Structures are given as structure tokens and as C-alpha cells.
Amino acid sequence: MLSLRHFLVLALALATLACTAAPGGPAGSAAPPVDLKFGIGFGSISPSFTPVYLAEEQGLFKANNVNMELVHLGGATFIQAATSGEVKVGSVSTAAAVGGIAKDAPLKIVAVTIMPPNWVLFARKGSNIGGPQDLKGKKVIITGYGGSTHQMAAIVADRNAWDLQKDLTLLPVSSTEAQIASLQRAEADASIMSRERALDFESRGLGNIAFEFASMTPVWADYVMVAHTDLIKNNPDAVRRTLRAYFQGAQLVRDRKDLVIKRLVEVHKFKPEVAEEVYKELQYTKDGSFDVKAMEVVVDNLVKVGALDKKPNMESLYTTQFLPVKF
């Protein structure tokens, strides 16, 4: 049974849809349905994308007249799919989005979904790592080169005046299972990962959270929504409706803790006590608005790690025409 608050969110979505004019149509006419693939810039399901999952499962995309198919893609694969036109809209790390756009991927950042980084340094059991200052000469797992975890490693090296290439051994390992195996076999001393994943690893007795990068990067833009430039030009209302559904999903995360906890346990297989802690980490922007300076910090770090040859024109990376998202 729907709670009153949940019912009101869905009712608002339907009411907003009824008042939305179709492109070129009279005011008050229903927007025509649109079929889209929503690219999730992660190779497997992740709690970070809970608003997207809820938007699909709770009918928010459909309430906004969007027939949405969710597709999980790694960051680089996401950019390839967007370039080919297979994916027209989605959510991905800021690093992946900026890296792709700077290399001529036909995308624009249309909203920021997560601002502060929820990346942590997870120390393997028995590694004697108490914080980033202990990483010199150590083997550290990152999810891949050029991405957010690589940037966190670069920030650590920069703050400690280390040579990133010589003083740290970075091991790109993307899947959860492979990371667990590497830590258990002591092939790595530590891993840079999302806090929700680290909480799960702690509950398995694999080690402990040694450091949270949010304290080192107070200004940051971690995840964004992007849209294909063709979609922005030819059907901006579809972008607007997609954003509306996403942020209605984010509102459900805030309003329906019971629904989210149930999903974390049943879908993500977290222990109930871990799910409670993970829920606290699911923090999203209210309406997609962002500080350009936060994005610029990410761009500067991409140049620093060699993911970009030079700093691109910041205005080429994003559009604010859909902000703030109204829902």
C-alpha cells in the first residue's frame, strides 16, 4: 500500500505531466511518450543510483511519460554508447562525463546528482594502514585509470608531495568480487572505494575504513546526469521529464527510508544493520544545481592524473537550461 507521502509524489508527477505542453503543441496538451535508454555509469547495480531504480520501480518515469530502459555500463563503455547514439541520457561520474565530453563525446552535463565524494580509503585487515599518510610504497586498488578513485589517489599523492607514478602502486580492479579476492590474498594493501561498499566489506571482516576523502575535498562534484546533444536540441522536454523523474526518485529516498532499506537488503544483499548505515550515505542534490567551481576542481584533477591533455573550456561541458529541476 502506498503511504500518503508516496501517493502525493506520484500524484504530483501525474499532475505535472497533465500540464506539460508537447513540443509544438498547445499549452496543456499531454507530452507524447518517449522511449529512452538510461545509461547507468557503473558495471553493476550500486546503491548510489537508488533514485534511478526507484524512478523505474515506482512508476515515476512512466508518470512523466517516459518509457525508460535502464542499462548498466562502465564509465568508458557509457561514453562509447552515448557517442554511438545507443544511450541518450544517463548518470555517470563527473570524471567520466568530463573526460568523454572533452574528447568530443556528443554529451552535456545537465545536472549534478551527488556533490561531496563518498569515497573512502579501505585498509585491508593486517595492513597497518591508519590513513593516507601510510600509503607510500603500498599497493592500492582503484576502479580504473582516469576515474574518481584515480583522482582520489592523485589528491593523496599531491598533499603528501609524492610522485603518483613512483610512490604508489595502483591496481585497477573494478568488480566487487575481484576486489574482495585481492584483499583476501593480500595482493593489495588498501582500496579506494565508495563508503557503502566499504561498510559491506567491514561487515565481512575484510578490514576497516581508514579515511574519508570528503574531508580532503570539501568542494567537489562526484556524479552527474548527462544528455545527448541531439536530445537536448530536438526534444528538450524529454530531458526535462527524465530529470523530473530522477529527482522525484531522490525525494523518495529522503521520504521513504523503509522502502530504501528494504531494497538495500533484498536487492543489494546488505545485512539489515549495514543497510541502515548505507542509507545515511545516500545524499543527493535537491534539484541538480551546482557550483561550477566544484566541477572545475574535478577537471583540474583530471589534468593532473593525465586523463586530460589540457583543461577544456568549462562552458563546453554543461548546460544549465534545465536547472533548477522542478518537480
What tens digit of pLDDT does each residue of 242-270 get?
999 999 999 999 999 999 999 999 999 99
Whole-angstrom distance, CA of residue 150 vs CA of residue 236 = 34
Per DSSP, the three-state class of 257 is: helix
Q: Does domain 119-215 have CATH number 3.40.190.10?
A: yes
Cell digits of residue 246: 530522477
The per-residue pLDDT for 176 is 86
Question: Apex CA 97: angle with CA 92 and CA 103, to 5°?
Answer: 150
Mean pLDDT of 6-30: 45
The DSSP bridge partners found for residue 140 are: 170, 190
The ranges of the chain annotated as CATH 3.40.190.10 are 4-116+220-316, 119-215
Per DSSP, the three-state class of 284 is: coil
**Class of domain 4-116+220-316 (CATH, top level):** alpha beta
Q: What is the pLDDT of residues 158-216, one digit of tens each?
A: 989 999 999 999 999 988 889 999 999 999 999 999 999 999 999 999 999 999 998 88
Question: Apex CA 34: angle with CA 325 and CA 101, to 5°?
Answer: 60
The DSSP bridge partners found for residue 194 are: 119
Q: What is the pLDDT of residues 26-77, one digit of tens each?
A: 333 467 899 999 999 887 889 999 999 999 999 999 999 999 999 998 778 8
Which range has the worst mean pLDDT, 22-26, 77-81, 86-90, 214-218? 22-26
User: 177-210 as b/e, with b when 16 or more CB fall inside 10 Å?
Assistant: eebbebbeeeebbbbbbbbbbbbbbbeeebbbeb
Whole-angstrom distance, CA of residue 124 vs CA of residue 104 = 39
Mean pLDDT over the full length of the chain: 89
Whole-angstrom distance, CA of residue 286 vs CA of residue 160 = 35
The per-residue pLDDT for 6 is 53
Q: If pLDDT is split at 50, 70 and 90, which confidence band does 218 have? A: confident
Q: DSSP of 34-64, one letter per residue?
A: EEEEEEESSSS--GGGHHHHHHHHTTHHHHT
